[in-house]
Amino acid sequence: MAQPIPEVVILRLPLYLRTLSRLAEKNIEVVSSRELGNHLQFTPAQIRKDLSYFGRFGKQGRGYDVKHLLAELKGILGLDRSWPMALIGVGQLGRAILSYRGFATEGFQIVAAFDSDPAKIGKRYGKLTIQDVAELNKTVAEQGIAIAIVAVPPSQAQQVINTLVASGVKAILNYVPITARLPKGVWLRDVDPTLALQTLTYHLKLGDTQA
List, for residues 31-79, the tens digit of each pLDDT value. 999 999 999 999 999 999 999 999 888 666 688 999 999 999 999 999 9
Report d(CA 173, CA 200) in Å as an integer.
23
* Domain boundaries defined on the chain: 7-76, 83-194
List, for residues 146-158, the tens digit of each pLDDT value. 999 999 999 999 9
pTM, 2 dp:
0.89
Which one, of 135, 115, 116, 133, lies nearest residue 125 by Cα? Answer: 115
Which SS3 state, helix, strand or coil, does residue 23 take?
Answer: helix
Backbone phi, psi, residue 53, to 5°? -65, -25
C-beta atoms surrounding 75 within 10 Å: 12
Instruction: Supply the pLDDT for residue 211.
Output: 52
Just give the CATH number of 7-76: 1.10.10.10
Class of domain 83-194: alpha beta
Query: Rg (Cα) of the chain, in Å, rounded?
Result: 20
Residues contacting residue 121 through CB under 8 Å, at least 6 positions apart: 115, 130, 131, 132
